[in-house]
Amino acid sequence: MNKSGDVIVVGAGIVGSSTAYHLAAGGTAVTLVEQTHPAGGPTGKSSALLHAFYLMPELSQLAIRGLQVLLSLPEIAGAGSFVTQVGMMWVCGKDSEAAWRAAAARIRGEGARMETLSPQAFADAAPCFSRDDVAVAIWEPEFGYADAFGATNAIAKAARARGATIMQNAPVRVLRRQGSRITGVDLANGDRLEADTVVLAAGPWTRRLLQTAGMDLPLHVERHPMAVLDAAGRARTIMPFAWCDDIACNYGRPDNEGVILVGTWAGGGTGIRHDEPMQPRRVDDPDHYMEGVDERESVAIVETFASRIPAMTGLGIRPGYAGLYDMSPDDLPVIGAMPGVDNFIVAAGSSGHGFKTGPAVGEAIAQLVTRERQRILEPFSPGRFVAA
């Protein structure tokens, strides 16, 4: 049995890596245990759109702080920049207009730049886009997208530089429980680690691990396909910014000048759950799902853009890829102490929109572990699904 410091963090996605970094930076002895490598799960496949626009204030605040952490990576990790601030554009129809205008005004008050554009101002900013059904466009000039793989690995590297131990290729098999307390983990290779606190940030594998210690949460896993479009030299002309369309239920972004990434969008924490044009598939086993995306699936995604961005339908289609969303019943993350269980914090259920908030969620979890109550995390408590 090894004492692995004060805290074990299971899972080196953006949340686990950020938790380990902030704990180590604050002087806590932490071991980050990952079955593959940092960003080896859904984080590494994230489109990583960054925005503060959420109908829920806590998500906006976490996203604003998340951007600050990402922008500080050159300083804290000695690495390059992983953020591309091309701006984020949203459009919605008449039904959502009042709620969206109110949210934009609130978020402006929280310190993010957030402009509400008239249909004409939207047309000036996005000449390739149709606007007939657009009631309001929201423009976030400070945001855009990140390199999720690079940023997460930089945060893990910064954690290691501050004393964190990072165990890669080290699957956790079981959470160890004594009475009401989680005392550590057993690894698949037979090693046993002990700590004062365990943080479980295992994304789609969370439910499986909870069940090894007699706990459960109503999480499920969905496969979400991304189409990759060949836009050699024109990506930023056709798709100049990160984009989310609440009317056609799709989103996208350029990836440098050559490629545009596009997918369908279900509402992702804005408080609305849309029927997606491409229905996501439930996945029973996150170790086995169809990672490839065939041309038929890609074409179906591109067709959702046909009336908004006609130029997009003429682009070539590269092989796409699919990633996993770990979903909660209300599409909001599940973060905090498990009721009735001591020394144990879960952070999961990010429901397809948890990259941008992840750096700040990790920071808040580190503070929860070492100090005190974190009001910003309280709406996400596991207690909304399980009683003590």
Ligand X SMILES: Cc1cc2nc3c(=O)[nH]c(=O)nc-3n(C[C@H](O)[C@H](O)[C@H](O)COP(=O)(O)OP(=O)(O)OC[C@H]3O[C@@H](n4cnc5c(N)ncnc54)[C@H](O)[C@@H]3O)c2cc1C
Nearer to ligand X, 55 or 201 (CB): 201
Among residues 28, 31, 46, 61, the one that binds ligand X under rule CB under 6 A: 46
Q: Which helix (H) or strand (E) holds 239?
A: none
Question: Residues 8, 185: contact at Cβ < 8 Å?
Answer: yes
Q: How far apart are the first and last CA of the chain?
A: 29
Q: Which residues contact 250 (CB under 8 A, 6 or more apart)?
A: 244, 262, 263, 264, 265, 277, 301, 304, 305, 308
Among residues 36, 130, 256, 313, the one that binds ligand X under rule CB under 6 A: 36
Count of residues in contact with ligand X, rule CB under 6 A: 40
Q: Is 103 in the site for ligand X (CB under 6 A)?
A: no
Residue 284 gets which letter from DSSP? S
Q: Is 33 in the site for ligand X (CB under 6 A)?
A: yes
Whole-number minimum distance, CB 276 to ligand X, in Å?
Answer: 13
User: Phi/psi of residue 166, each to 5°?
Assistant: -115, 120
Bridge partners, 243 (sequence order):
89, 252
Residue ranges of alpha helices (H) inside 26-145 are 57-71, 73-77, 94-109, 119-125
Distances (CA, A) of 347 to 9, 122, 185, 356: 10, 37, 16, 14
Question: Residues 354, 269: contact at Cβ < 8 Å?
Answer: no
Among residues 87, 280, 352, 382, the one that binds ligand X under rule CB under 6 A: 352
Q: Is 144 in the site for ligand X (CB under 6 A)?
A: no
CA–CA distance, 7 with 242 (Å, rounded to integer): 37
Whole-number minimum distance, CB 352 to ligand X, in Å?
Answer: 5
Whole-number minimum distance, CB 170 to ligand X, in Å?
Answer: 6
Site for ligand X, residues 216 to 275, rule: CB under 6 A: 224, 226
Burial class (CB in 10 A: 0-12, 13-18, 19+), 94: exposed
Query: Hey, how many other C-beta atoms are within 10 angstroms of the C-beta on 118?
Result: 13
Whole-number minimum distance, CB 97 to ligand X, in Å?
Answer: 23
Question: Residues 322, 293: contact at Cβ < 8 Å?
Answer: yes
Query: Hey, how many other C-beta atoms are within 10 angstroms of the C-beta on 3?
Result: 12
Whole-number minimum distance, CB 108 to ligand X, in Å?
Answer: 21
Q: Is 61 in the site for ligand X (CB under 6 A)?
A: no
Whole-number minimum distance, CB 244 to ligand X, in Å?
Answer: 9
Among residues 327, 353, 368, 376, the one that binds ligand X under rule CB under 6 A: 353
Which span sits near ligand X by CB under 6 A: 1-9, 11-19, 176-184, 368-376? 11-19
Whole-number minimum distance, CB 41 to ligand X, in Å?
Answer: 3
Q: Which residue is nearest to ligand X (CB)?
A: 203
Bridge partners, 194 (sequence order):
3, 184
What one-letter code names the amino acid at 200? L
Q: Is 380 in the site for ligand X (CB under 6 A)?
A: no
Nearer to ligand X, 288 or 388 (CB): 288
Which span sits near ligand X by CB under 6 A: 32-40, 117-125, 211-219, 300-308? 32-40
CA–CA distance, 216 with 219 (Å, rounded to integer): 9
Site for ligand X, residues 287 to 346, rule: CB under 6 A: 323-325
Nearer to ligand X, 135 or 380 (CB): 380
Among residues 5, 11, 336, 382, the one that binds ligand X under rule CB under 6 A: 11
Among residues 4, 28, 31, 43, the one that binds ligand X under rule CB under 6 A: 43
CA–CA distance, 255 with 242 (Å, rounded to integer): 10
Nearer to ligand X, 114 or 283 (CB): 283
Site for ligand X, residues 180 to 219, rule: CB under 6 A: 201-205, 209
Q: Kindly list the residues in this chain that would bind ligand X in the complex (CB under 6 A).
A: 10-16, 33-36, 40-43, 45-49, 171-172, 201-205, 209, 224, 226, 323-325, 350, 352-356, 358
